Chains A and B, each alone.
Chain A
């Protein structure tokens, strides 16, 4: 699966999360470019990425920074 993420770094939160199937790589790439252009036009300094993962659960594991706040990440570290 592919995931387009718009992330507000300073706020530490996801603004937009869009899911694409594996065969929609070009669509996801275009959506990313369109979003970057739109944010640039609006002067919004958000991070935009397209990530590939076997599932959303796997993505949340490898890129928890986008999904979890500091408290959750500290609690997760405690559980290791």
Chain B
């Protein structure tokens, strides 16, 4: 852990996330960006920006709502099941479900990002429809998996 202070910003989608990261790197002279959307850490997705205030490193965690939901769930399960859950350990079924959830979040956000970045959807109707269908599919997969986890509460309760 390199920071001694931190803060957390939660935004609606990946484009807003990119904007916040851009603002932070502009506002502070010395920053380093760790994009955990590209290389998730045991499923954890977010962008961390380390900024320096009076030479003190401050970690700013910039998360989308979806990434934040996943992170909170993973942190809570690390509390009640065991700290290894946060680092890719814990009961096998739970571990695979968390990783699968994270993959779906990544998939949904990749499509969402493409959709939001389209400037003139009318010119890209086919592509838009395709991406929208993929996004709906990813969100449905996410819902199905979350519902499955709710129904199989035993995964963490009896661990």
Partner of A61, one of B10, B80, B143: B10
Residues of A within 8 A of B77 (CB): 70
Q: Which of A61, A68, A75, A80 contacts B76 (CB 8 A)?
A: A68
**A61-B10, A62-B8, A70-B156 known; A77+B76 contact, CB < 8 A:** no
Q: How far is the CA of A75 from the CA of B151 in the complex (A)?
A: 11
**Chain A: CB-nearest residue to B147:** A78
| Smallest beta-carbon distance B139→chain A, Å | 9
Note all chain B residues with C-beta closer than 8 A to A64: 72
Consensus secondary structure, chain A interface:
helix
Contact A74 B79, CB 8 Å, known A80-B66, A80-B69: no
Interface string of A2-29 (1 = CB under 8 A from B): 0000000111100000000000000000
Total count of chain B residues near the partner, CB < 8 A: 22
User: Is the pair A73, B65 in contact by a Cβ cutoff of 8 Å?
Assistant: no
Taken together as a complex, chains A and B put the C-alpha atoms of A76 and B66 apart, in Å, by 10
Secondary structure at chain B's binding surface: helix, strand, loop or mixed? helix
Given A12-B80, A62-B10, A73:B73 Cβ within 8 A? yes
B150 touches which one: A9, A11, A63, A71 (CB < 8 A)? A71
Contacts of B72 in A (CB 8 A): 64-65, 68, 73, 76
Report if B15 contacts A (CB, 8 A). Answer: no
State whether A12 touches B10 (Cβ < 8 A): no
Which partner residue on chain A sits nearest B139 by CB separation?
A80
A7 → B minimal CB distance (Å): 8
CA distance A6 to B18 in the complex (A): 34
> Are A75 and B150 touching (Cβ within 8 A)?
yes
Contact partners of B75 in chain A: CB under 8 A: 65
- Nearest CB on A from B87, distance (A): 15
A65-B79, A68-B76, A70-B76 are known contacts. Are A76 and B69 too (CB-CB below 8 A)? Answer: yes
State the A residues within 8 Å of B (CB).
9-12, 61-65, 68-71, 73-78, 80
Q: Given contact pairs A9-B79, A80-B66, enumerate 19 new A-B contacts (beta carbons under 8 Å).
A: A11-B80, A12-B76, A12-B79, A65-B72, A65-B75, A65-B79, A68-B76, A69-B76, A70-B73, A70-B76, A70-B80, A70-B156, A71-B150, A73-B73, A74-B146, A74-B149, A74-B150, A77-B70, A78-B147
